[in-house]
Amino acid sequence: MPKDTTLFSLLDRELVRQRTGIELIASENFTSLAVMQAMGSVATNKYAEGYPGKRYYGGCEIIDEIETLAIERLKKVFGASWANVQPHSGAQANTAVFLACLKPGDPILGLDLSMGGHLTHGSPANYSGKHYRAFFYGVHKETGLINYEQLEETARREKPKLIICGASAYSRDWDYKRIRAVADEVGALVLADIAHPAGLIATGVLNDPLDHCHIVTSTTHKTLRGPRGGLIMLRHDFDNPLGAKDPKGNIRSMSAALDLAVFPGMQGGPLEHVIAAKAVAFGEILEDGFKQYTQQVVANAQAMASAFVSRDYHLISGGTDNHLMLIDLRNKNITGKKAQEVLDQAHITLNKNAVPFDDKSPFVTSGIRIGVPAITTRGLRETDMENIVAMIDEVLTHADQPEVVAAVREHVQTMMQQFPLYPELS
Ligand SMILES: *Cc1c(COP(=O)(O)O)cnc(C)c1O
Protein backbone atom coordinates (compact mmCIF):
# COMPACT_ATOMS: atom_id res chain seq x y z
CA MET A 1 0.00 0.00 0.00
CA PRO A 2 1.53 3.36 -0.96
CA LYS A 3 2.03 5.79 1.88
CA ASP A 4 -0.11 8.59 0.50
CA THR A 5 -3.42 6.87 1.17
CA THR A 6 -5.35 10.08 0.60
CA LEU A 7 -4.29 10.36 -3.01
CA PHE A 8 -4.01 6.68 -3.86
CA SER A 9 -7.45 5.90 -2.50
CA LEU A 10 -8.78 8.57 -4.87
CA LEU A 11 -7.04 6.78 -7.74
CA ASP A 12 -8.59 3.49 -6.59
CA ARG A 13 -12.01 5.12 -6.71
CA GLU A 14 -11.32 6.45 -10.20
CA LEU A 15 -10.37 2.94 -11.34
CA VAL A 16 -13.66 1.61 -9.98
CA ARG A 17 -15.54 4.42 -11.76
CA GLN A 18 -13.84 3.57 -15.06
CA ARG A 19 -14.51 -0.15 -14.61
CA THR A 20 -18.19 0.08 -13.74
CA GLY A 21 -19.45 2.69 -16.19
CA ILE A 22 -20.09 2.88 -19.92
CA GLU A 23 -17.62 5.40 -21.31
CA LEU A 24 -19.02 7.17 -24.36
CA ILE A 25 -16.97 10.38 -24.36
CA ALA A 26 -15.74 10.44 -27.96
CA SER A 27 -12.30 11.82 -27.07
CA GLU A 28 -11.50 9.18 -24.43
CA ASN A 29 -9.97 5.73 -24.58
CA PHE A 30 -8.25 3.18 -22.33
CA THR A 31 -4.50 2.80 -22.85
CA SER A 32 -2.70 -0.47 -22.39
CA LEU A 33 -1.05 -1.19 -19.06
CA ALA A 34 2.33 -0.90 -20.85
CA VAL A 35 1.51 2.68 -21.90
CA MET A 36 0.68 3.54 -18.28
CA GLN A 37 3.83 1.84 -17.01
CA ALA A 38 6.00 3.87 -19.40
CA MET A 39 4.25 7.04 -18.23
CA GLY A 40 4.84 6.20 -14.58
CA SER A 41 8.53 5.49 -15.17
CA VAL A 42 11.95 6.96 -14.31
CA ALA A 43 11.86 8.93 -17.57
CA THR A 44 9.84 11.53 -15.64
CA ASN A 45 13.03 12.46 -13.76
CA LYS A 46 15.01 13.62 -16.78
CA TYR A 47 15.44 17.11 -18.15
CA ALA A 48 16.05 16.97 -21.91
CA GLU A 49 15.46 20.40 -23.44
CA GLY A 50 16.29 20.21 -27.13
CA TYR A 51 16.08 17.25 -29.48
CA PRO A 52 17.85 13.87 -29.78
CA GLY A 53 21.56 14.55 -30.32
CA LYS A 54 21.12 18.29 -29.58
CA ARG A 55 20.27 18.60 -25.89
CA TYR A 56 21.02 21.34 -23.40
CA TYR A 57 21.65 18.81 -20.60
CA GLY A 58 24.00 15.90 -20.03
CA GLY A 59 22.92 12.32 -19.45
CA CYS A 60 20.44 12.29 -22.33
CA GLU A 61 21.88 9.35 -24.27
CA ILE A 62 19.11 6.91 -23.32
CA ILE A 63 16.38 9.53 -23.46
CA ASP A 64 17.61 10.27 -27.00
CA GLU A 65 17.03 6.63 -27.91
CA ILE A 66 13.54 6.72 -26.37
CA GLU A 67 12.51 9.87 -28.23
CA THR A 68 14.04 8.62 -31.49
CA LEU A 69 12.11 5.36 -31.13
CA ALA A 70 8.86 7.32 -30.68
CA ILE A 71 9.61 9.47 -33.75
CA GLU A 72 10.61 6.56 -35.99
CA ARG A 73 7.57 4.49 -35.01
CA LEU A 74 5.24 7.44 -35.57
CA LYS A 75 6.74 8.10 -39.02
CA LYS A 76 6.13 4.46 -39.89
CA VAL A 77 2.53 4.54 -38.62
CA PHE A 78 1.57 7.43 -40.90
CA GLY A 79 4.15 7.23 -43.66
CA ALA A 80 5.50 10.60 -42.53
CA SER A 81 8.98 11.88 -43.37
CA TRP A 82 9.31 14.04 -40.25
CA ALA A 83 7.64 14.15 -36.83
CA ASN A 84 7.82 16.01 -33.53
CA VAL A 85 6.52 14.09 -30.51
CA GLN A 86 7.14 16.76 -27.87
CA PRO A 87 3.88 18.77 -27.80
CA HIS A 88 2.32 18.30 -24.37
CA SER A 89 -1.19 18.18 -25.85
CA GLY A 90 -3.19 18.64 -29.03
CA ALA A 91 -3.63 22.33 -28.25
CA GLN A 92 0.14 22.74 -27.85
CA ALA A 93 0.74 21.06 -31.22
CA ASN A 94 -1.58 23.58 -32.88
CA THR A 95 0.08 26.48 -31.06
CA ALA A 96 3.44 25.39 -32.44
CA VAL A 97 2.07 25.29 -35.99
CA PHE A 98 0.66 28.80 -35.63
CA LEU A 99 3.95 30.04 -34.24
CA ALA A 100 5.88 28.49 -37.11
CA CYS A 101 3.54 29.59 -39.94
CA LEU A 102 1.92 32.87 -38.93
CA LYS A 103 2.61 36.35 -37.69
CA PRO A 104 0.27 37.88 -35.07
CA GLY A 105 -2.81 39.31 -36.80
CA ASP A 106 -2.59 37.00 -39.83
CA PRO A 107 -5.93 35.69 -41.11
CA ILE A 108 -6.80 32.02 -40.47
CA LEU A 109 -9.81 29.96 -41.52
CA GLY A 110 -11.24 27.07 -39.50
CA LEU A 111 -14.42 25.16 -38.77
CA ASP A 112 -16.72 27.09 -36.44
CA LEU A 113 -16.69 25.76 -32.87
CA SER A 114 -20.49 25.70 -32.83
CA MET A 115 -20.45 23.51 -35.96
CA GLY A 116 -18.09 20.89 -34.57
CA GLY A 117 -14.74 22.71 -34.67
CA HIS A 118 -12.18 23.03 -31.88
CA LEU A 119 -11.37 25.99 -29.61
CA THR A 120 -7.83 26.17 -31.03
CA HIS A 121 -9.13 26.74 -34.57
CA GLY A 122 -9.80 30.44 -34.00
CA SER A 123 -12.37 30.67 -31.20
CA PRO A 124 -12.43 34.16 -29.63
CA ALA A 125 -12.05 32.46 -26.22
CA ASN A 126 -8.73 30.92 -27.28
CA TYR A 127 -5.30 32.41 -28.10
CA SER A 128 -5.91 31.32 -31.72
CA GLY A 129 -8.79 33.77 -31.95
CA LYS A 130 -7.08 36.49 -29.93
CA HIS A 131 -3.72 36.55 -31.74
CA TYR A 132 -4.91 35.86 -35.27
CA ARG A 133 -7.79 37.17 -37.37
CA ALA A 134 -10.11 34.17 -37.44
CA PHE A 135 -12.70 33.40 -40.12
CA PHE A 136 -14.93 30.36 -40.12
CA TYR A 137 -16.76 27.93 -42.33
CA GLY A 138 -19.59 25.69 -41.15
CA VAL A 139 -21.76 22.79 -42.21
CA HIS A 140 -24.84 22.73 -44.44
CA LYS A 141 -28.02 23.11 -42.45
CA GLU A 142 -29.93 20.40 -44.38
CA THR A 143 -27.23 17.73 -44.60
CA GLY A 144 -24.89 18.48 -41.70
CA LEU A 145 -21.96 18.05 -44.11
CA ILE A 146 -19.00 20.46 -44.33
CA ASN A 147 -19.95 23.48 -46.41
CA TYR A 148 -16.98 23.39 -48.80
CA GLU A 149 -18.53 26.14 -50.92
CA GLN A 150 -18.52 28.45 -47.89
CA LEU A 151 -14.94 27.41 -47.10
CA GLU A 152 -13.89 28.26 -50.67
CA GLU A 153 -15.76 31.56 -50.82
CA THR A 154 -14.36 32.69 -47.47
CA ALA A 155 -10.86 31.63 -48.49
CA ARG A 156 -11.07 33.61 -51.75
CA ARG A 157 -12.45 36.67 -49.96
CA GLU A 158 -10.27 36.76 -46.81
CA LYS A 159 -7.06 35.19 -48.16
CA PRO A 160 -6.16 33.29 -44.97
CA LYS A 161 -2.53 32.29 -44.45
CA LEU A 162 -3.65 29.01 -42.88
CA ILE A 163 -6.73 26.89 -43.51
CA ILE A 164 -7.49 24.42 -40.72
CA CYS A 165 -9.51 21.28 -41.28
CA GLY A 166 -10.43 18.72 -38.68
CA ALA A 167 -13.05 18.73 -35.94
CA SER A 168 -14.10 17.56 -32.51
CA ALA A 169 -17.72 16.78 -33.28
CA TYR A 170 -18.04 15.86 -36.95
CA SER A 171 -19.00 12.31 -37.88
CA ARG A 172 -18.02 12.31 -41.58
CA ASP A 173 -14.78 12.04 -43.52
CA TRP A 174 -13.02 15.04 -45.09
CA ASP A 175 -12.21 15.99 -48.69
CA TYR A 176 -8.62 17.09 -48.07
CA LYS A 177 -7.84 17.35 -51.78
CA ARG A 178 -10.57 19.92 -52.31
CA ILE A 179 -9.32 22.05 -49.41
CA ARG A 180 -5.76 21.92 -50.73
CA ALA A 181 -6.95 23.09 -54.15
CA VAL A 182 -8.44 26.32 -52.81
CA ALA A 183 -5.47 26.80 -50.48
CA ASP A 184 -3.11 26.69 -53.48
CA GLU A 185 -5.35 29.18 -55.25
CA VAL A 186 -5.17 31.75 -52.42
CA GLY A 187 -1.63 30.96 -51.20
CA ALA A 188 -2.59 29.39 -47.88
CA LEU A 189 -1.08 26.49 -45.99
CA VAL A 190 -3.38 23.67 -44.89
CA LEU A 191 -3.28 22.18 -41.40
CA ALA A 192 -5.18 18.95 -40.80
CA ASP A 193 -5.88 18.55 -37.09
CA ILE A 194 -6.72 14.85 -36.84
CA ALA A 195 -6.91 14.78 -33.02
CA HIS A 196 -10.09 12.69 -33.09
CA PRO A 197 -9.89 10.25 -36.01
CA ALA A 198 -6.07 9.77 -36.10
CA GLY A 199 -6.25 6.07 -35.22
CA LEU A 200 -8.72 5.45 -38.04
CA ILE A 201 -6.51 7.36 -40.48
CA ALA A 202 -3.43 5.43 -39.32
CA THR A 203 -5.00 2.14 -40.41
CA GLY A 204 -6.49 3.41 -43.68
CA VAL A 205 -10.11 3.28 -42.48
CA LEU A 206 -10.49 7.00 -43.30
CA ASN A 207 -8.95 9.29 -45.96
CA ASP A 208 -5.26 10.08 -45.58
CA PRO A 209 -4.61 13.85 -45.16
CA LEU A 210 -0.82 13.69 -45.28
CA ASP A 211 -0.39 14.07 -49.04
CA HIS A 212 -2.83 16.95 -49.36
CA CYS A 213 -2.29 18.93 -46.16
CA HIS A 214 1.04 20.66 -45.58
CA ILE A 215 1.04 19.94 -41.85
CA VAL A 216 -0.80 17.41 -39.68
CA THR A 217 -1.31 17.64 -35.91
CA SER A 218 -2.97 15.22 -33.53
CA THR A 219 -3.49 14.25 -29.95
CA THR A 220 -2.14 10.86 -28.93
CA HIS A 221 -4.83 9.90 -26.39
CA LYS A 222 -8.02 9.69 -28.46
CA THR A 223 -8.33 7.01 -31.17
CA LEU A 224 -4.52 6.57 -31.18
CA ARG A 225 -5.00 5.04 -27.70
CA GLY A 226 -1.77 6.41 -26.29
CA PRO A 227 -0.88 8.68 -23.37
CA ARG A 228 -2.34 12.19 -23.08
CA GLY A 229 -0.26 14.29 -25.48
CA GLY A 230 0.22 15.80 -28.94
CA LEU A 231 2.29 15.43 -32.10
CA ILE A 232 3.09 17.18 -35.38
CA MET A 233 4.09 15.52 -38.65
CA LEU A 234 4.85 16.12 -42.32
CA ARG A 235 4.97 13.73 -45.23
CA HIS A 236 6.63 16.25 -47.53
CA ASP A 237 8.93 18.90 -46.07
CA PHE A 238 9.05 22.31 -47.78
CA ASP A 239 10.52 25.79 -47.38
CA ASN A 240 8.72 27.72 -44.68
CA PRO A 241 7.05 30.63 -46.48
CA LEU A 242 7.75 32.89 -43.49
CA GLY A 243 11.29 32.71 -44.81
CA ALA A 244 13.06 32.94 -41.46
CA LYS A 245 16.76 32.49 -42.12
CA ASP A 246 18.97 30.16 -40.13
CA PRO A 247 22.39 31.45 -38.96
CA LYS A 248 23.93 30.34 -42.27
CA GLY A 249 21.46 32.45 -44.22
CA ASN A 250 19.40 29.53 -45.54
CA ILE A 251 15.64 29.64 -45.59
CA ARG A 252 14.42 27.32 -42.89
CA SER A 253 12.44 24.28 -43.87
CA MET A 254 9.01 23.84 -42.34
CA SER A 255 10.27 20.90 -40.26
CA ALA A 256 13.04 23.06 -38.77
CA ALA A 257 10.59 25.90 -38.14
CA LEU A 258 8.20 23.53 -36.36
CA ASP A 259 10.96 22.07 -34.19
CA LEU A 260 11.98 25.61 -33.19
CA ALA A 261 8.35 26.57 -32.52
CA VAL A 262 7.86 23.66 -30.09
CA PHE A 263 11.20 24.27 -28.37
CA PRO A 264 12.32 26.90 -27.54
CA GLY A 265 9.28 28.62 -29.08
CA MET A 266 6.61 27.62 -26.61
CA GLN A 267 7.64 24.68 -24.42
CA GLY A 268 10.49 23.93 -22.05
CA GLY A 269 11.59 20.45 -21.08
CA PRO A 270 9.77 17.68 -22.94
CA LEU A 271 7.74 15.14 -20.96
CA GLU A 272 10.03 12.20 -21.74
CA HIS A 273 7.96 9.75 -19.68
CA VAL A 274 4.98 10.63 -21.88
CA ILE A 275 7.17 10.38 -24.99
CA ALA A 276 8.22 6.90 -23.79
CA ALA A 277 4.53 6.01 -23.50
CA LYS A 278 3.90 7.45 -26.99
CA ALA A 279 6.61 5.08 -28.29
CA VAL A 280 4.77 2.16 -26.65
CA ALA A 281 1.43 3.22 -28.13
CA PHE A 282 2.87 3.72 -31.64
CA GLY A 283 4.44 0.25 -31.34
CA GLU A 284 1.00 -1.15 -30.50
CA ILE A 285 -0.49 0.57 -33.56
CA LEU A 286 2.10 -1.14 -35.75
CA GLU A 287 0.95 -4.53 -34.45
CA ASP A 288 -1.70 -6.57 -36.26
CA GLY A 289 -4.58 -6.14 -33.79
CA PHE A 290 -4.85 -2.37 -34.11
CA LYS A 291 -6.33 -2.30 -37.60
CA GLN A 292 -8.97 -4.77 -36.42
CA TYR A 293 -9.65 -2.51 -33.46
CA THR A 294 -10.27 0.52 -35.68
CA GLN A 295 -12.52 -1.52 -37.99
CA GLN A 296 -14.51 -2.62 -34.95
CA VAL A 297 -14.73 1.03 -33.82
CA VAL A 298 -16.41 1.96 -37.10
CA ALA A 299 -18.66 -1.13 -37.04
CA ASN A 300 -19.73 -0.29 -33.49
CA ALA A 301 -20.34 3.38 -34.31
CA GLN A 302 -22.50 2.42 -37.29
CA ALA A 303 -24.45 -0.16 -35.27
CA MET A 304 -25.06 2.44 -32.59
CA ALA A 305 -26.04 5.10 -35.12
CA SER A 306 -28.64 2.88 -36.78
CA ALA A 307 -30.03 1.82 -33.39
CA PHE A 308 -30.54 5.50 -32.53
CA VAL A 309 -32.10 6.27 -35.90
CA SER A 310 -34.55 3.36 -35.53
CA ARG A 311 -35.66 4.92 -32.23
CA ASP A 312 -36.33 8.22 -33.96
CA TYR A 313 -33.22 10.05 -32.78
CA HIS A 314 -31.97 12.78 -35.11
CA LEU A 315 -28.30 12.27 -35.98
CA ILE A 316 -26.50 15.21 -37.56
CA SER A 317 -25.64 14.12 -41.14
CA GLY A 318 -27.82 11.05 -40.61
CA GLY A 319 -25.05 8.73 -39.48
CA THR A 320 -21.31 8.31 -39.15
CA ASP A 321 -18.15 7.40 -41.09
CA ASN A 322 -15.92 7.43 -38.02
CA HIS A 323 -15.97 6.74 -34.27
CA LEU A 324 -18.56 9.29 -33.16
CA MET A 325 -22.01 10.72 -33.71
CA LEU A 326 -23.75 13.94 -32.82
CA ILE A 327 -27.41 13.74 -31.79
CA ASP A 328 -29.91 16.58 -31.88
CA LEU A 329 -32.31 15.93 -28.96
CA ARG A 330 -34.83 18.67 -29.77
CA ASN A 331 -37.51 16.19 -30.92
CA LYS A 332 -37.03 14.34 -27.59
CA ASN A 333 -37.75 17.40 -25.44
CA ILE A 334 -34.60 17.18 -23.35
CA THR A 335 -31.55 19.46 -23.42
CA GLY A 336 -27.98 18.25 -23.84
CA LYS A 337 -27.21 19.41 -20.30
CA LYS A 338 -30.06 17.49 -18.73
CA ALA A 339 -29.28 14.39 -20.83
CA GLN A 340 -25.64 14.42 -19.72
CA GLU A 341 -26.61 14.81 -16.06
CA VAL A 342 -29.22 12.09 -15.95
CA LEU A 343 -27.09 9.64 -17.96
CA ASP A 344 -24.24 10.32 -15.53
CA GLN A 345 -26.52 9.11 -12.74
CA ALA A 346 -26.98 5.89 -14.71
CA HIS A 347 -23.19 5.63 -15.02
CA ILE A 348 -23.27 6.28 -18.77
CA THR A 349 -20.72 9.01 -19.43
CA LEU A 350 -20.94 11.34 -22.43
CA ASN A 351 -20.96 15.06 -23.09
CA LYS A 352 -23.52 17.63 -24.01
CA ASN A 353 -22.63 19.26 -27.31
CA ALA A 354 -23.90 22.12 -29.40
CA VAL A 355 -25.50 20.98 -32.64
CA PRO A 356 -25.08 23.06 -35.82
CA PHE A 357 -27.39 26.12 -35.74
CA ASP A 358 -28.16 25.44 -32.06
CA ASP A 359 -30.56 27.88 -30.41
CA LYS A 360 -29.35 27.07 -26.89
CA SER A 361 -26.26 28.32 -25.07
CA PRO A 362 -23.05 26.22 -25.03
CA PHE A 363 -23.74 25.49 -21.34
CA VAL A 364 -27.14 23.97 -22.12
CA THR A 365 -27.01 22.82 -25.78
CA SER A 366 -29.53 20.82 -27.79
CA GLY A 367 -27.33 17.82 -28.35
CA ILE A 368 -25.05 15.10 -27.11
CA ARG A 369 -21.88 13.68 -28.63
CA ILE A 370 -21.26 9.95 -28.39
CA GLY A 371 -18.13 8.01 -29.27
CA VAL A 372 -17.24 4.34 -29.14
CA PRO A 373 -13.40 4.13 -29.01
CA ALA A 374 -13.30 3.44 -25.26
CA ILE A 375 -16.03 0.77 -25.14
CA THR A 376 -14.56 -0.88 -28.24
CA THR A 377 -11.23 -1.16 -26.41
CA ARG A 378 -13.12 -2.88 -23.59
CA GLY A 379 -14.36 -5.48 -26.06
CA LEU A 380 -17.96 -4.45 -26.71
CA ARG A 381 -19.46 -5.42 -30.09
CA GLU A 382 -22.39 -4.50 -32.32
CA THR A 383 -25.08 -6.25 -30.24
CA ASP A 384 -23.86 -4.42 -27.13
CA MET A 385 -24.38 -1.13 -29.01
CA GLU A 386 -28.06 -1.91 -29.42
CA ASN A 387 -28.35 -2.65 -25.68
CA ILE A 388 -26.62 0.62 -24.82
CA VAL A 389 -28.93 2.62 -27.08
CA ALA A 390 -31.93 0.94 -25.42
CA MET A 391 -30.60 1.96 -22.00
CA ILE A 392 -29.89 5.54 -23.09
CA ASP A 393 -33.38 5.78 -24.55
CA GLU A 394 -34.87 4.40 -21.33
CA VAL A 395 -33.06 7.05 -19.26
CA LEU A 396 -33.82 9.96 -21.58
CA THR A 397 -37.51 9.12 -21.83
CA HIS A 398 -37.77 8.70 -18.03
CA ALA A 399 -35.39 11.47 -17.00
CA ASP A 400 -37.59 12.53 -14.10
CA GLN A 401 -38.08 9.03 -12.68
CA PRO A 402 -35.11 8.26 -10.40
CA GLU A 403 -36.18 4.63 -9.94
CA VAL A 404 -35.93 4.01 -13.71
CA VAL A 405 -32.52 5.68 -13.81
CA ALA A 406 -31.37 3.57 -10.83
CA ALA A 407 -32.52 0.38 -12.52
CA VAL A 408 -30.52 1.25 -15.65
CA ARG A 409 -27.51 1.97 -13.48
CA GLU A 410 -27.74 -1.56 -12.01
CA HIS A 411 -27.97 -2.96 -15.53
CA VAL A 412 -24.93 -0.95 -16.66
CA GLN A 413 -22.83 -2.28 -13.79
CA THR A 414 -23.83 -5.91 -14.43
CA MET A 415 -23.11 -5.49 -18.14
CA MET A 416 -19.66 -3.98 -17.66
CA GLN A 417 -18.57 -6.75 -15.27
CA GLN A 418 -18.38 -8.94 -18.37
CA PHE A 419 -15.66 -6.65 -19.80
CA PRO A 420 -12.80 -6.56 -17.28
CA LEU A 421 -10.70 -3.37 -17.29
CA TYR A 422 -7.10 -3.62 -16.06
CA PRO A 423 -7.61 -6.97 -14.28
CA GLU A 424 -3.88 -6.82 -13.41
CA LEU A 425 -4.56 -3.88 -11.10
CA SER A 426 -6.03 -4.73 -7.71
C1 LIG B 1 -9.10 17.17 -28.58
C2 LIG B 1 -8.75 18.12 -29.66
C3 LIG B 1 -7.64 18.98 -29.55
C4 LIG B 1 -6.94 19.30 -28.27
O5 LIG B 1 -6.35 18.33 -27.58
P6 LIG B 1 -5.86 18.59 -26.09
O7 LIG B 1 -4.90 17.47 -25.91
O8 LIG B 1 -7.07 18.51 -25.23
O9 LIG B 1 -5.20 19.91 -26.03
C10 LIG B 1 -7.27 19.75 -30.65
N11 LIG B 1 -7.98 19.67 -31.79
C12 LIG B 1 -9.05 18.88 -31.92
C13 LIG B 1 -9.79 18.88 -33.21
C14 LIG B 1 -9.49 18.10 -30.86
O15 LIG B 1 -10.59 17.36 -30.98
The alpha carbon of 114 and the centre of ligand 1 are apart by a number of angstroms equal to 15
Which residue CA neighbors atom 12 of ligand 1 most closely? 195
Distance CA 404, CA 367 (A): 22
- C-beta of residue 411 within 8 angstroms of C-beta of residue 66: no
**Using one digit for the tens of pLDDT, what is the confidence trace for 208-235?**
999 999 999 999 999 999 999 999 999 9
The alpha carbon of 218 and the centre of ligand 1 are apart by a number of angstroms equal to 7
pLDDT at 244: 65
pLDDT at 246: 67
Domain ranges of the chain: 34-285, 289-416
| 228 catalytically annotated | yes
Express the helix, strand and coil content of the chain in percent, nearest 5 each. 45, 15, 40
Which residues, 6 or more positions from 302, have their beta carbon under 8 angstroms from its beta carbon? 319, 320
Run of H or E residues at 51: strand 50-51
Distance CA 152, CA 183 (A): 9
Mean pLDDT of 16-40: 98
Q: Under CATH, what is the fold of the domain 34-285?
A: Aspartate Aminotransferase; domain 2 (3.40.640)
| 381 catalytically annotated | no
Among 29, 85, 120, the mutation site with the greatest number of ligand 1 atoms within 8 A of its Cβ is 120
pLDDT at 241: 74
| 369 catalytically annotated | no
Distance CA 231, CA 285 (A): 15
Which residues, 6 or more positions from 54, have their beta carbon under 8 angstroms from its beta carbon? none
Predicted confidence (pLDDT) at residue 341 exceeds the cutoff of 80: yes
pLDDT at 243: 63
- C-beta of residue 283 within 8 angstroms of C-beta of residue 71: no
| 6 catalytically annotated | no
Enumerate residues lining ligand 1, CB below 6 A: 27, 89-91, 118, 120, 166-168, 193, 195-196, 219, 230
pLDDT at 70: 98
Distance CA 146, CA 207 (A): 15
Distance CA 220, CA 229 (A): 5
Predicted confidence (pLDDT) at residue 378 exceeds the cutoff of 90: yes
* Helices and strands, counts by H and E, the chain: 15, 15
CATH code 3.40.50.1370 for 289-416: no
Which residue CA neighbors atom 1 of ligand 1 most closely? 195
| 337 catalytically annotated | no
pLDDT at 263: 97
Distance CA 1, CA 393 (A): 42
Q: Which atom of ligand 1 is nearest to the CA of 229?
A: 7
**Using one digit for the tens of pLDDT, what is the confidence trace for 246-266?**
667 666 899 999 999 999 999
Mean pLDDT of 367-389: 98
Distance CA 247, CA 159 (A): 31
Distance CA 76, CA 282 (A): 9
Mean pLDDT of 168-182: 98
**Using one digit for the tens of pLDDT, what is the confidence trace for 76-94?**
999 999 999 999 999 999 9
The alpha carbon of 116 and the centre of ligand 1 are apart by a number of angstroms equal to 12
Which residue CA neighbors atom 2 of ligand 1 most closely? 195
Residue percentage of the chain with pLDDT more than 90: 95
